């Protein structure tokens, strides 16, 4: 009984983890759909990472940082960092040696402040002015996350959790019906919404409202072939001997000659 109970408990935990993965996948699809619609994001995505995020992925043994990000976003992505992030990791010493070595291979963001400026300021500068480069920022710094949500609502923010990667809800879409967690039909694709005849309402960062309506299929009349009256077939004409061209049936003779006179 003890072993059976452990197996049942293990199956239950596996089912819960599977349901959570599906829920996270629906959320990120919903959020990315919002950023594509309102802010012009397109794949392959450009992902800006800091040293804390790289170290967190390695310490949790989630795998290669790029592979983890690509799998989570569900689209090809390219990782970037800043010179200040590389310098900050280099000064951390042995504790972040692996993260520092990994960051050296990433492409640097052009412009921005130079070391010894804080890494936080360099990332904020990269997305300043409406995030024209369409960066997705991956960070474990709570201060940076709050600052981006307040000052740069057009910037998606991803952080590393014990259960995997998660994305912050869009700050400028609260209650819009698209990024709100109370959205009806969450996780549905455009084709599914089209089939259901739902209306998707999107509010942009500048207060611009866009309605994307999907027409319901019109009711059509019955198939004319299915209601067509059947034509009655005429009964075949009986043959009339040689006149009709059909040989008359021969009369059946009785055996024994009972009809003949004796």
More confident residue, 221 or 249: 221
**Residue 155 above 80 pLDDT?**
yes
Nearest to 138 by CA among 217, 81, 98, 184: 81
- pLDDT mean over 126-154: 94
- pLDDT mean over 200-219: 44
Query: For position 34, what pLDDT does the model report?
Result: 94
- Residue 1: exposed, middle, or buried by beta-carbon count in 10 A (0-12, 13-18, 19+)? exposed
- pLDDT mean over 2-13: 64
Most confident of 10-14, 78-82, 163-167, 235-239: 78-82
| Least trusted range by pLDDT, from 101-105, 153-157, 218-222 | 218-222
- pLDDT mean over 43-66: 95
CA angle in degrees (0–180, nearest 5) for 101-104-108 = 155
d(CA 236, CA 70): 76
More confident residue, 156 or 2: 156
d(CA 103, CA 89): 8
Contacts of residue 114, defined as CB under 8 A and 6 or more positions apart, other chains included, come to 83, 84
**Residue 248 above 80 pLDDT?**
no
More confident residue, 37 or 7: 37
**Residue 258 above 90 pLDDT?**
no
What tokens appear for 255 in the block? 């055996």
Query: For position 165, what pLDDT does the model report?
Result: 93
Dihedral of CA 37/38/39/45: which sign? Answer: negative
CA angle in degrees (0–180, nearest 5) for 81-85-88 = 160
Distance from the Cα of residue 248 to its chain's centroid: 79
Instruction: Say how many C-beta atoms besides its own lie within 10 A of residue 44's C-beta.
Output: 11
Contacts of residue 124, defined as CB under 8 A and 6 or more positions apart, other chains included, come to 144, 147, 148, 151, 152
pLDDT band per the 50, 70, 90 thresholds, residue 221: confident
pTM here is 0.63
d(CA 83, CA 36): 28
Nearest to 139 by CA among 170, 111, 166, 173: 166
pLDDT above 70: percentage of residues in the chain: 63
d(CA 69, CA 165): 8
Nearest to 171 by CA among 189, 150, 185, 192: 150
What tokens appear for 93 in the block? 């010493």
pLDDT band per the 50, 70, 90 thresholds, residue 99: very high
Tell me the pLDDT tens digit for each residue of 222-243: 777 766 666 777 676 665 554 5
| Least trusted range by pLDDT, from 48-57, 110-119, 170-179, 216-225 | 170-179
Q: What are phi and psi of 184, to 5 degrees?
A: -80, 140
| Least trusted range by pLDDT, from 142-146, 194-198, 219-223, 240-244 | 194-198
More confident residue, 70 or 234: 70
More confident residue, 57 or 188: 57
């Amino acid at each position: 009984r003890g072993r059976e109970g452990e197996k049942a408990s293990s199956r239950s935990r596996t089912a819960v983890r599977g349901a959570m993965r599906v829920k996270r996948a629906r959320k990120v699809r919903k959020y990315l759909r919002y950023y594509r619609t309102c802010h012009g994001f397109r794949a392959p995505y450009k992902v800006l990472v800091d040293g804390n995020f790289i170290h967190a992925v390695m310490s949790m043994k989630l795998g290669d940082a790029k592979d983890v990000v690509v799998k989570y976003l569900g689209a090809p992505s390219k990782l970037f960092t800043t010179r200040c992030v590389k310098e900050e990791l280099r000064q951390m010493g042995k504790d972040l040696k692996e993260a520092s070595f990994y960051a050296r291979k990433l492409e640097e963001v052009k412009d921005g402040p130079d070391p010894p400026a804080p890494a936080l300021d360099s990332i904020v500068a990269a997305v300043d002015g409406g995030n024209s480069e369409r960066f997705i920022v991956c960070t474990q710094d709570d201060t940076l996350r709050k600052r981006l949500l307040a000052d740069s609502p057009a910037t998606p923010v991803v952080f590393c959790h014990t259960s995997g990667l998660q994305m912050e809800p869009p700050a400028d879409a609260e209650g819009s019906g698209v990024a709100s967690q109370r959205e009806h039909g969450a996780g549905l694709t455009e084709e599914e919404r089209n089939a259901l005849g739902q209306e998707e309402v999107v509010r942009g960062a500048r207060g611009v409202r866009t309605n994307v309506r999907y027409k319901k299929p019109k009711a059509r009349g019955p198939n004319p072939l299915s209601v067509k009256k059947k034509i009655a077939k005429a009964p075949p004409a009986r043959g009339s001997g040689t006149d009709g061209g059909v040989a008359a049936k021969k009369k059946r003779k009785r055996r024994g000659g009972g009809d003949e006179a004796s």
